[in-house]
Amino acid sequence: MTVAGSNPRRKLSSLSFAALFVTPLLSSPWPVSVEEDCLLKYANCVDAASDLPGFWRRSGEGILCYLDLMSCLHRRLV
């Protein structure tokens, strides 16, 4: 009787694949002012959105928070 287990080669290839994409992000960090300003605004926005009643209102406001974050990062980095 054999028991199917996880393939160690598959885990290793998944890990190296993930590292391939994460490494460039870590090697060139954003300026601190960008992180503090944009991410702090995003966190406050999501916190306020989470207090809203109803799934659709919370979800809609969360999407708007995300779009504001992307816009802020785009303005700061370009």
With H, G, I as helix, E, B as strand and everything else as coil, classify residue 18: helix
pLDDT range class, residue 76, cuts 50, 70, 90: confident
Specify whether the CB–CB gap between 15 and 53 falls below 8 A: no
Tell me the per-residue pLDDT of 1-56, one tens digit each, with 9 for 90 and over.
555 555 555 555 555 555 555 555 555 555 555 556 889 999 999 999 999 999 99
* 77 CB-near residues (< 8 Å, 6+ apart): 30, 34
Query: What's the predicted TM-score (pTM) here?
Result: 0.54
- For residues 42, 44, 45, 50, the Cα torsion angle rounded to the nearest 10 degrees is 120
